[in-house]
Amino acid sequence: GAVVSQHPSRVICKSGTSVKIECRSLDFQATTMFWYRQFPKKSLMLMATSNEGSKATYEQGVEKDKFLINHASLTLSTLTVTSAHPEDSSFYICSARDGDRESSYNSPLHFGNGTRLTVT
């Protein structure tokens, strides 16, 4: 099945630093990837939709200058949390759909294993 790899799985950084998270589709091409954030005991919240070769589409309330998304190839999207603060500590998960292999409808998301970010 489709595999999505996310790296790093865990990162601890100091306040004010930037953190880059990578999301790769290993055995399929992903023109669209999605970035989610999940706080403890809360639902996954869509942050942005990453489109290969174009600008990401951010959800309302998500600062595009704070969460930089780059989708330079069909297999790689990156999320950079700039000038991280303790309130950015969360579980960040990327996902992608294999639009080429699966039919347009009912094409499920395949998730990376997530990145647990702790900002001290």
Partner 1 sequence: RKEVEQDPGPFNVPEGATVAFNCTYSNSASQSFFWYRQDCRKEPKLLMSVYSSGNEDGRFTAQLNRASQYISLLIRDSKLSDSATYLCVVDPEGHSGTYKYIFGTGTRLKVLA
Beta bridge partners, 20, equal: 80
One-letter amino acid of 39:
F
Q: Cα 40–107–28 angle (5° rounding)? A: 90
- Binding window for partner 1 (CB under 8 A); candidates: 15-23, 66-74, 76-84, 89-97: 89-97
* 106 forms part of the interface with partner 1 (CB under 8 A): yes
- Binding window for partner 1 (CB under 8 A); candidates: 11-19, 20-28, 73-81, 103-111: 103-111
* 74 forms part of the interface with partner 1 (CB under 8 A): no
Of the candidate residues 20, 22, 29, 32, the single one contacting partner 1 (CB under 8 A): 32
- Closest separation in Å from C-beta 47 to partner 1: 12
CA of residue 65 relative to chain centroid, distance: 15
- Number of chain positions touching partner 1 (CB under 8 A): 25
- Closest separation in Å from C-beta 22 to partner 1: 15
- Binding window for partner 1 (CB under 8 A); candidates: 13-21, 40-48, 63-71, 73-81: 40-48
Distance (Å, whole) CA 7 – CA 113? 8
Distance (Å, whole) CA 42 – CA 16? 25
Peptide bond before residue 8 is cis, with ω within 30 degrees of 0? yes
